[in-house]
Amino acid sequence: MNVTTTTIAAIATPVGRGGIGIIRLSGSQALAVVKKLSHKKTFKHRYPQLCTWKDVNDEVIDSGLVLYFPAPASYTGEDVVELQGHGSPVLLRALLRRCIDLGCVPAEPGDFTRRAVENGCMDLSQAEAVVACIDAATERAGKQAQKHLAGMFGQKIESLMHTLTGVVAHVEACLDFPEEEIPELFLSQLCDQLKRDLCVPMQALLASASFGERLFSGASIAIVGAPNVGKSSLLNLLSGRERAIVSDIAGTTRDVLEVDFEIHGIPVRLVDTAGMRESMDVIEQEGVRRAKEAADVADVVVFLADAEREDTWHFDEPFDIAVFNKIDLIEPSKHKCMNGISLSAHTGEGLDKLLNALADMLGEKLVDGEDVFVTNERHRIAIQDAEHYVQAAMPMLLHEEQLDLAALELRRAWSALGVIVGVGDVEYILDRVFSEFCVGK
Ligand SMILES: Nc1nc2c(ncn2[C@@H]2O[C@H](COP(=O)(O)OP(=O)(O)O)[C@@H](O)[C@H]2O)c(=O)[nH]1
Ligand SMILES: [Mg+2]
């Protein structure tokens, strides 16, 4: 159990006016504080009870529902009480002040979830998922965050750690009894197991990271190309609104224009740019400079050309996908001559193909069949580290005199993964080793 003795309190609903405003309390004094506040002696467990909350002069601050979750079956593992009052910032602040006067401490950001981790109600990856759920910009990101919150990612990591423990246990046994001959094949089988049960799944997880991380941090796509090829029309088509001015006057778009939308659930910032051309106009020149800059920092650069005008088919700067627009104007037989995606920003033909290609570029293909992805850099780096240590250990396993070094590398891999779920105790692995092995053998 947690050693923290303070009882924390905070307004749990967002700042501003709303139908309901919630204050949450957690700690051993939570119920005592609410009893004083409500002038009520008993609270049924997990049952909403209508109460009035009074200030020091016995005047009503607000009224609402009290919900009491006794320890340990609560969010934090401690006694938790929720006060569900009116969503008024003024009343909520007054109520919170009263809770503090009665002995609570104002909670720091993340304090409730931190206590949940400290009390073993969730692992660290689940705690991170709480934030991911709240921050998810698309439904698909939200669904992925829910899987992490349910512990599916943490369980995957723990199962990798469990496999590592087993292998380390075997290696340690060989080290502990050097006089005993190690059966031929035994170590190479361990090596195979490391590859099959650790490297392969870790590599699959790592492959999911580019998509998984973008699901939460978003991606940027820049549309570049000659003037008048239909860049602004494409931006409007993709975003579903008439965001950019479209005209047949070359040089209409001079500034960099951004629109947020989503592709297959990935939050995307789409950047429309000024057409690349030599211009005497200083404003347009600046537009072209900014267009190049936007392309430099974009995750994906779409080069748009006019299917009718071969002079727009060449582009000097690097790009990822070539798209030929205005195919509504040319004969279908000619579509084949163009090396890229054929599109009409006017009719929408070819849009699905373009969206699929963009999603592929953003890593969607790599998560095919994967249920849970790596969704943040911290997890990715930890898995990269673990994989690196396992790779280092494998050849050592094949040399008996390097077995102790192999065990060390594998323990490092274990610790690297432990960082994800919040266990960093190397003693733990040793306990496991001895609990799994009978010393007398
Ligand atoms: N027929 C046809 N015209 C298009 C298409 N896309 C854009 N246009 C026209 O091409 C001209 C230039 O379009 P715009 O989006 O402003 O091009 P930008 O300079 O690259 O941003 C406008 O007159 C558009 O109506 C298309 O798919 N088919
Ligand atoms: Mg334009």
Q: What's the mean per-residue pLDDT of the chain?
A: 89
Residue 260 has pLDDT above 50, yes or no: yes
Task: Summarize pLDDT for 204-219 with one digit per residue, the tens.
Answer: 999 999 999 999 999 9
Atom of ligand 1 nearest to the CA of 223: 20
Q: What is the pLDDT of residue 338?
A: 72
Question: Hey, whose CA ends up nearest to atom 6 of ligand 1?
Answer: 230
Instruction: With cut-offs at 50, 70 and 90, classify the pLDDT of residue 431.
Output: very low
List b or e across 194-214, with b for residues whose CB sees 16 or more CB atoms inside 10 angstroms: beebbeebbebbbbbbbbbbb
Residue 117 has pLDDT above 90, yes or no: no
Whether 188 contacts 398, CB under 8 Å = yes
Q: What is the pLDDT of residue 426?
A: 40
Domains of the chain from N-terminus onward: 8-121 (3.30.1360.120), 139-214+373-436 (1.20.120.430), 217-366 (3.40.50.300)
Mutation pick for ligand 1 pocket among 246, 272, 276 (CB with most ligand atoms within 8 Å): 246
Per the rule left: phi > 0, alpha: psi between -120 and 50, beta: everything else, 314 is beta
Q: What is the pLDDT of residue 2?
A: 44
Q: What is the pLDDT of residue 294?
A: 86
Question: Hey, whose CA ends up nearest to atom 13 of ligand 1?
Answer: 230
Closest C-alpha to 24, from 67, 71, 64: 67
Q: Output the DSSP codes for 392-433.
A: HHHHHHTSGGGHHHHHHHHHHHHHHHHHHHT---HHHHHHHH
Spell out where 326-367 has E strands.
Answer: 341-342
Beta carbons within 10 angstroms of residue 395's beta carbon: 11
Q: How far is 36 from 102, CA to CA, in rounded Å?
A: 8
Residue 267 CA, ligand 2 centroid: distance in Å: 22
Report the share of the chain in percent with pLDDT over 70.
94
Whether 62 contacts 86, CB under 8 Å = yes
Q: What is the pLDDT of residue 257?
A: 85
Mean pLDDT of 335-345: 83
Residue 246 CA, ligand 1 centroid: distance in Å: 7
Strands 18-26 and 60-69: unpaired
Instruction: With cut-offs at 50, 70 and 90, classify the pLDDT of residue 425.
Output: low
Residue 4 has pLDDT above 60, yes or no: no
Atom of ligand 1 nearest to the CA of 225: 20
Q: Could you tell me the sign of the dihedral formed by the alpha carbons of 23, 27, 33, 38, in that order?
A: positive
Q: What is the pLDDT of residue 177?
A: 78
Task: Summarize pLDDT for 379-407 with one digit per residue, the tens.
Answer: 999 999 999 999 999 999 988 889 999 99
Closest C-alpha to 219, from 138, 298, 131: 298
Tokens of 252: 């209409």
Q: How far is 53 from 81, CA to CA, in rounded Å?
A: 14
Residue 361 CA, ligand 2 centroid: distance in Å: 24
Question: Hey, whose CA ends up nearest to atom 16 of ligand 1?
Answer: 246
The amino acid present at 202, given as its one-letter code, is: M
Question: Hey, whose CA ends up nearest to atom 7 of ligand 1?
Answer: 230
Q: What is the pLDDT of residue 240?
A: 85
Task: Summarize pLDDT for 23-78 with one digit per residue, the tens.
Answer: 999 999 999 999 999 999 999 999 999 999 999 999 999 999 999 999 999 999 99
Q: What is the pLDDT of residue 239?
A: 87
Pick the ligand that lies closest to the CA of residue 277: 1
Is 0.75 topped by the overall pTM?
yes
Atom of ligand 1 nearest to the CA of 236: 15
Residue 352 has pLDDT above 60, yes or no: yes
Residue 345 CA, ligand 1 centroid: distance in Å: 7
Q: What is the pLDDT of residue 332?
A: 76
Whether 210 contacts 366, CB under 8 Å = yes
Q: What is the pLDDT of residue 97?
A: 97
Residue 437 has pLDDT above 70, yes or no: no
Q: Which residues contact 17 (CB under 8 A, 6 or more apart)?
A: 87, 88, 89
Q: Which residues contact 29 (CB under 8 A, 6 or more apart)?
A: 7, 103, 104
Tokens of 157: 């990591």
Q: How far is 384 from 201, CA to CA, in rounded Å?
A: 12
Pick the ligand that lies closest to the CA of residue 234: 1
Q: How far is 378 from 166, CA to CA, in rounded Å?
A: 25
Instruction: With cut-offs at 50, 70 and 90, classify the pLDDT of residue 175.
Output: confident
Residue 408 has pLDDT above 80, yes or no: yes
Residue 222 CA, ligand 2 centroid: distance in Å: 12
Question: Hey, whose CA ends up nearest to atom 17 of ligand 1?
Answer: 230
Q: Which residues line ligand 1 (CB under 6 A)?
A: 227-233, 246-248, 252-253, 275, 325-326, 328-329, 344-346
Residue 230 CA, ligand 1 centroid: distance in Å: 4
Pick the ligand that lies closest to the CA of residue 257: 2
Mean pLDDT of 132-137: 90
Question: Hey, whose CA ends up nearest to atom 11 of ligand 1?
Answer: 248
Residue 37 CA, ligand 2 centroid: distance in Å: 62
Question: Hey, whose CA ends up nearest to atom 3 of ligand 1?
Answer: 326
Strands 321-325 and 341-342: parallel
Whether 61 contacts 54, CB under 8 Å = yes
Residue 231 CA, ligand 1 centroid: distance in Å: 7
Q: Output the DSSP codes for 241-290.
A: S--S---SSTT---S-EEEEEEETTEEEEEEE-------S-HHHHHHHHH
Atom of ligand 1 nearest to the CA of 304: 20
Peptide bond before 72: cis, by omega within 30 degrees of 0? yes
Mean pLDDT of 135-154: 95
Q: What is the pLDDT of residue 428?
A: 44
Mutation pick for ligand 1 pocket among 233, 308, 338 (CB with most ligand atoms within 8 Å): 233
Q: Which of 109-118, 248-257, 344-353 has the lowest mean pLDDT?
A: 248-257
Q: How far is 239 from 250, CA to CA, in rounded Å?
A: 22
Residue 350 CA, ligand 2 centroid: distance in Å: 20
Residue 433 has pLDDT above 70, yes or no: no
Atom of ligand 1 nearest to the CA of 229: 20
